[in-house]
Structure 1
């Protein structure tokens, strides 16, 4: 994985690189970004920062990101730290758990790797730069073979535990939403999901697929202007408004039947069923759609590569590999479609094209009697308007 050139951070308050701002503290990056604002100092506890989390932080434009954990542990070459540095957001790593005890809103001062609250030094870590990131990535690439072995072992374990579910669909709950014979669009709030959803507007308008949001993917569907038919997940990142939008809810539970998200759904009065399974919520959505007779499954924002599986940070991501094999004949991965079809026509080219069209139209009008009469009428009208304007300002 080749690292892009690093841009210098442009958010320092002082010429010597000192940064200050109010602390926003949360061990879960996904939860923190919901309230993080420009100029805040994000305090997180995120081992191996993934692409989605880093991009969510960049969108909030914090003054700095302070990580109690190591943003790259060496397990695999994750790209989160580089994304922050490329965006000019300072990242201080390995600050330890003391930094998580900071009070929400406390005024912090960050200089190099030192974090102060008032005059007290709270913690000291490593200020990431191009050299430290490259060193971490080099170690991570060396450890990738171990992750491959672990991934293969997890895949075998999952296949043994869930073979009845994978092969025969045993355990898949019944839902009221009609899926048989229809196309299904599964939305996960993953890489480039917004752009890909925008590119699929014509498909959604013409095919009218069943819209399934995986946790926060339900909010992504609503933000794009549609209404989800089904919401699948453990309910840790979907909003209350999405859960009460009228969509049918499938709560992903642990294999032993424990479903922490079910209590929240019940409190909101949303109709729901429980689906115990070992894998991830996106696996559950795919298996449900396949078992209920979907003729086509289109996936947006889902995980498809080894690094993406490792980015997810769960050993259970091996289940996604097998799930994709299970529904492979129906599955179309729409991730990246926006980059495939992105327009390369620049603004000035469009302006030149419009001007050329207008010139061609003027020439066509000038060589016909009807066109000449129309042009004379337009010129006379323009002369009247310009005379009126001159009289108005002259008077």
Structure 2
């Protein structure tokens, strides 16, 4: 029988000038893209002002590059997302336009400097971000913060006029079956350092058994930490189906006119829910609900409190949260950054040495007392018996 020679397939050509190569993963919403983005993929997004949370989620996926149809820093405020990507060694190309957003997932892309190619065809050209360009964008953006402060003052007055009945008298807060009156409440938002802060609160959760409220994706954060949410509050755009069907009571945050896009999804899943129409953010709604239902203490994890954090969320001001925190008052404890405050500086080796020193001190203490000497002799005799048995076993 004649053997046919094996056919050798040519190895794919390597582009020596390429900044990065990989299959495209395309989505207008960065939050949705990170759920399916894998290491080595090329992330194609349309995200003006990449915020910290989105950048950290992209870094965790390990993409070969990030291609942005929009400007990663528009100049509205000094967002830190682009710097986080560059610090992680991920190439970032900006201002590529809408041409890339129509690509099919899996299209093989080559990133060469500021150009994006498919094969030998240049699909789009943009701005390759470097440490110098990011710093220049940040300096320009810092000059625009005064405009944001003006917007904040304007939004504060507007929010007060729209929600004075809710803020002053709690009119419009729905009734929920979860018992909150007289209990501590822990509100979890998937914001900055929420995982570390949640881990630091384990003893508080174990001892106080607070009502656990997840704000949208914060419900998944509670489940990932090993607990079950009692309430889920939000517009339901970033919480998983498994969290919504975990048995938690659901409060759908609706627009002031009553429109609640998330209600249809919750109803389809068969989850018990009520609708809470209110201006402001979902975390504000969660705080107002807990306060109105008689919470004795409200501990917030991952919530947004600074001007830059709210601009990261795409809001022109933080009037709703400013006034909500005034409304809730002294019962609110912000746990943001608690992990950084109490982070241990003791290394593993230091702990090992401490244990060994303790054992040495115990042996010395036993050796200088009659009872300790007798105990040591008995221990050594027992060890000798064990060693003899082992030697006999292997010798036999």
How many equivalent residue pairs? 383
Give the secondary structure class of the aligned counterpart of 2:379. helix
| Residues 285-320 of structure 1: per-residue CA shift (max 9 Å, x gap) | 011111111111110000011111111112363211
Give 1:239's aligned residue: 240
Give structure 1 stretches of 5+ with no counterpart: 1-12
When normalised by structure 2's length, the TM-score is 0.93
Query: Are 2:356 and 1:367 aligned?
Result: no
Contact 1:39 1:61 (8 Å CA) reproduced? yes
Structure 1 residues 317-356: aligned runs within 5 Å: 317-356=318-357
| 1:88 counterpart = 2:89 | yes
Report if aligned partners of 2:148, 2:316 keep a CA contact under 8 Å in 1.
Answer: no
How far apart are the structure 2 equivalents of 1:52 and 1:377? 61
Structure 1 distance, partners of 2:110, 2:48, is 23
Deviation track 1:319-378 (CA, whole Å, cap 9, x = no partner) reads: 111111111221110010011111011122112111111110110111122322332233
- SS of alignment partner, residue 165 of structure 2: helix
Could you tell which deviates more after superposition, 83-92 or 188-197?
Answer: 83-92
Contact kept in structure 1, 2:307 and 2:317, CA below 8 Å: no
**Mapping of residues 259-278 of structure 1, within 5 Å:** 259-278=260-279
RMSD (CA atoms): 1.7
For the 8 Å contact 1:77–1:141, the answer to whether it is kept is: yes
Instruction: State the structure with more CA Rg.
Output: 2
Q: Distance in 2 between the 1:218 and 1:233 partners?
A: 10
Aligned partner of residue 110 in structure 2, secondary structure: strand
Give 3-state SS (helix, strand or coil) of 1:252's partner. strand
- Residue 118 of structure 1: how far off its partner (Å): 2.1
Report the Cα offset of residue 387 of structure 1: 5.0
Q: Is the 8 A contact 1:278 1:316 kept in 2?
A: no
Deviation at 1:40, TM superposition (A): 1.1
Match of 1:4 in 2: none
Classify the secondary structure of the residue corresponding to 2:330.
coil
Q: Partner residue of 2:26?
A: 25
Superposition deviation, residue 17 in structure 1: 5.1
Q: State the alpha-carbon separation in 2 of the partners of residues 23 and 379 from structure 1.
A: 67
Q: Whole-Å Cα distance in 1 between the matches of residues 73 and 35 of structure 2?
A: 23
1:34 aligns with 2:35: yes
Q: Please give the TM-score of this superposition, normalised by the length of structure 1.
A: 0.93
Range with bigger deviation, 254-263 or 147-156: 147-156
Whether contact under 8 Å (2:287, 2:298) holds in the other structure is yes
Instruction: Tell me if the contact between 1:51 and 1:79 (Cα under 8 Å) persists in the aligned partners.
Output: yes
> Are the counterparts in 2 of residues 165 and 172 from structure 1 also a CA contact under 8 Å?
yes
